[in-house]
Structure 1
Amino acid sequence: MKVLGWLLLVILATSIILIAVYWQADKSLEELKPKWAPAPSQFVNVQGMQVHLRDEGPRDDPNPIVLIHGTSSSLHTWDGWTDELKSTRRVVRFDIPAFGLTGPSPDNNYTIESYASFIVAMLDHLNIEQGVLAGNSLGGYVAWATAVIYPERVSQLALVDTSGYPFTPKSTPIGFIVANTPVLNKLMEKVLPRSMVESSIINLYGDPSIITHELVDRYFDLTVRAGNRQALAQRFRQTKPGPYADKISSIPQPTLIIWGGQDRLIPPELGDHFHREIPDSELVIFDELGHLPHEEAPLETVNVFIDFINR
C-alpha cells in the first residue's frame, strides 16, 4: 500500500509538472486567421459551420478538382499541388470538420457518412455538379466513400496513402496515440508540447530533414484551434476503417492510387489492395516518400496526377 501510495503521488506530481510546463490554451479563430487564412482564403456557411475554403483557377472548368486533407491536417497540405494546377484547372480545397480553421462540427458527428455528406454539401454550395476528388489518408477515405454513396458527383478519384481498409500500422505518430487513448486525450485538451507535434510529423515523412519550423508551426497552431483537440478524439472514436470496404470493388470511376514507399502509418500493401479491388485503377509508388507524399514532394506527385486527369 505504501508503494502504491508513493506511485500515485509520483504520477500526480508528474502530471502537475507537465501541466505547468506544457499548458497550451486554445487559440481562437480570430487569433489564427491573419497567419493561416490570408487571401484567397474565405469562409462559407455550410452545415452550420464557417468552413475555411480556397477556390482558385478558372470558374468555367466543367470538372473541378477537389482536394481533401487528412487527420490533423488542413487545406494548406495541398499548396504545392494547387500552385501547379490552378493556372488551367479550378481547384477547390477546404478544412474538413474537426480540423484546420473550420473546427468542430456543431453536432459532433464525425462518421464517414457525415464526412461524405459534408463533401456533397460543399459541392452544392459551390454549384459543382461533378468533380475529381483527391484525398490523402482520412481525406482519401472520405473521397472514395463519397464516390460509393454519391457516385453521380464524382468523375475521377485520386487516393493518396488512403485509409478505409482495416490495417495495422508499423509505427503510429505519438499525437495520434495520445488522441486515441482515454484519459490521455483529456489531458491533451490542456497540455500539448510542440515537440509532440513535431515528432508526429517526423513519423509521417520519408525524409524528415525537409521539415521546416513553419511547417511544425502550422500543424501546432491548427491543432490548438479552439475545439479541435476535443474533436480529434471524437474523430478517432467515430471514423473507423472498415465500413463500406466491401463496396470498394464496385467503384466505377477511373482511380489513381499514389503511395509513399516509406509510409509506416498505412503500409504500402494497402495501396496494392486498393489497386486489386478497384477495376479501373493504376498504382504509383514513390519509394522514398512517407505518408504525405503530396506534401513532401508536391511537384513529383502532382505530375503523375496531371497525367492521370489528362488521360
Structure 2
Amino acid sequence: MNMTKILLTGLLLLLMTVAVGIGLAWAPDRSVDTLKTRWAAAPSRFIELQGMQVHLRDEGPRDDPEPIVLIHGTSASLHTWDGWTAALKHQRRVIRMDLPGFGLTGPAPDGDYRMERYADFIVALMDQLRVRQAILAGNSLGGGIAWRTAVQHPDRVSRLVLVDATGYPLQSTSVPLGFRLAQIEGLKPVMRQLLPRRMIEASVRNVYANPDQVTPELVDRYYELTLRAGNRESLTQRMKLRETDALSAGLIPGIRQPTLILWGAQDRLIPEPSGQRFHQDIAGSQYVVFEGLGHVPQEEDPLRSVAPVLKFLALQP
C-alpha cells in the first residue's frame, strides 16, 4: 500500500512538473496590433504590397538617386539594421523592411518563400517607393535575396553588400535550436502553441560570437516577433527550402555588380569558407573578415561592421 502511494505521489509530481513546463512555454499567436506599440514606433509605417501590410522604415535624404536597401535574415526583422541605419541615414536614404514570413509583415498570402519570389518582392517594393536602382545589402537569407535580386533584375541593383550570406550548400558546425525544431514536421502542431523563451534565447546566443552581448531586450524582440500570427508556420515552410536554395549557387559567378563581402570569423551557421567562395566566384569583389564576430556582425558590432561599407560607398565615417 505504501509503495502504491509513493508511485502515485511520484506520478502526480511528474504531471505537475509537466503542467508547469507547458504553462511556462504556452505561447499562442499574437496579433500585429498587440505588437505594434513596442516594435513599430516611428519611423515605422505599413504599406500595402502583394496582399500584405509590409512593415517598413524609410529614412535619410529623399533625393538620394541610389538608396540603400537592407534585407534581414531568417527569423529576424528590420531592427537588426538599427546600428547600420544610424551610421548611414545622414548621408544616404536607407530602406529596410520585414520580409514576408517574418517580423510584423507576417506570412505571404500565397505561402511562397522561394528565393526568386523574394527577389521579385524586393523589386516590387522598390517600384512602390519609386526607387529605380538601389544598393542592396543583406545578411544570411537577406544576403541570398540580395544577390538573387541582382541576378534576376540586374538593371535594378547597382552594388551589393553580402553579410554572411546564403548561397552555397550549408556546412554548419552549429545550428540554432529553433531552426532545428522548425524542420521537424511532427512538431508543427506543438510549436504553434508552445514557444519557450529560453529556446529563443539559446538560438540568438548561438549566432553571436560573444553570447554575453545578447540582452533581454534583444531576446524579447526575437521572441515576440516570432509569435506574430502566422510566422511560426512561415518559418517551417521557409526551412523546407534551404537545400533547394543551394541549387542556384551556379548563378553566383554571373554577378557583375561591384560587391563587398563581409563575414564573421566565428560564424558557425554559415562558416567563413562560404565567404571565401563568394569572393572567388564574384569577379572583382572585396572581402572583409571580422575576428570575434559571428553570424550577425551588423547586430553584434554595428560600428565595426559598417566601417567597410562606408569605405565601399565612399561615405564619411
Normalized against structure 1, the TM-score is what?
Answer: 0.94
Task: Pick from 284, 287, 307 the counterpart of residue 283 of structure 1.
Answer: 287
Counterpart residue type for residue 308 of structure 1: F
Q: Residue 299 of structure 1 corresponds to which residue in structure 2?
A: 303
Letter matched to residue 296 of structure 2: L
What amino acid does structure 2 have at the position aligned with 1:266?
Answer: I
1:179 is aligned, of 167, 177, 182, to: 182
| Greater C-alpha Rg | 2
Aligned partner of 2:260: which letter?
L
| Alignment equivalent of 1:89, drawn from 68, 88, 92 | 92
Partner in structure 2 of residue 3 of structure 1: none
Per-residue CA distance 1:159-181 (angstroms, 9 max, x = gap): 00000111221000000000111
* Matching residue within 54, 59, 62 for 1:56: 59
Farther-moved stretch of structure 1 (243-252 vs 216-225): 243-252
Contact 1:137 1:163 in 2 (8 A): yes
Distance across 2 between alignment mates of 1:172 and 1:38: 32
Measured after TM superposition, the shift of residue 103 of structure 1 is 0.3
Moved over 3 A (4+): 13-21
- Note if 1:124 corresponds to 2:127: yes
Who is 1:166 aligned against?
Answer: 169
1:31 matches 2:52: no
Alignment partner for residue 140 of structure 2, among 128, 137, 156? 137
Q: Separation in 2 of the partners of 1:190 and 1:16?
A: 14
Letter in structure 1 aligned against 2:246:
G
Secondary structure of the corresponding residue to residue 53 of structure 1: strand
Task: Give the alignment partner of residue 209 of structure 1, picking from 206, 212, 217.
Answer: 212
Matched residues, percent identical?
55
Distance change in 2, residues 1:32/1:252 (3 Å)? same
CA distance in 2, matches of 1:242, 1:196: 27
**CA offset digits 1:156-204 (Å, max 9, x no partner):** 0000000011122100000000011111233211110000000000100
Moved more, 205-214 or 237-246: 237-246
Structure 1 residue 303 displacement after superposition: 1.1
Which letter does structure 2 place at the counterpart of 1:148?
Answer: V
Taking the aligned partners of 1:186 and 1:113, their CA distance within structure 2 comes to: 29
> 1:283, 1:293 → 2: CA distance?
14
For the aligned residue pairs, the C-alpha RMSD in angstroms reads 1.6
The one-letter amino acid paired with 2:254 is S
Match for 2:159: what amino acid? Q
234-243 or 269-278: which moved more? Answer: 234-243
Report the Cα offset of residue 250 of structure 1.
0.9
- Tell me the alpha carbon deviations over residues 189-231 of structure 1, each in whole angstroms, 9 at most, x when there is no partner: 1110000000000100011111111000000000000110011
Q: AA paired with 1:309?
A: L
Q: Match for 1:228 among 202, 207, 231?
A: 231
Q: Give the aligned partner of residue 265 of structure 1.
A: 269
Q: Distance in 2 between matches of 1:89 and 1:115?
A: 24
Report the alpha carbon displacement of residue 98 of structure 1 after superposing the two structures with TM: 0.4
Task: Give the TM-score, by structure 2 length.
Answer: 0.92
CA distances 1:240-262 after superposition (whole Å, capped 9, x unpaired): 43132111101000000000000
Q: Distance in 2 between matches of 1:242 and 1:15?
A: 40
Q: Tell me by how many angstroms 1:40 deviates.
A: 0.3
Q: Which amino acid aligns with 1:281?
A: S
Question: In structure 2, what is the equivalent of residue 22 of structure 1?
Answer: 25
- Secondary structure class of the residue paired with 1:140: helix
* 1:242 aligned counterpart, secondary structure: helix
Instruction: Say which SS state the counterpart of residue 244 (structure 1) adopts.
Output: helix
C-alpha distance after superposition, 1:42-83 (max 9, x if no partner): 000010000000000000001100000000000000000000
TM-aligned CA distance change 1:183 to 1:17, over 3 Å: farther
- Say yes or no: does 1:152 pair with 2:152: no
Shift, 1:25, TM fit? 1.0
Go from structure 1 to structure 2 and tell me whether the alpha carbon gap of 1:17 and 1:181 turns closer, same or farther (over 3 Å shift). farther
| 2:314 counterpart letter in structure 1 | N
Q: How far off is 1:21 after superposition?
A: 3.6
Query: What secondary structure sits across from 2:286 in the alignment?
Result: strand
Which SS does the other structure have where 2:179 is aligned? Answer: helix
Offset of 1:305 from its aligned partner? Answer: 0.5
In the alignment, structure 2 segments of 5+ residues that lack a partner are 1-10
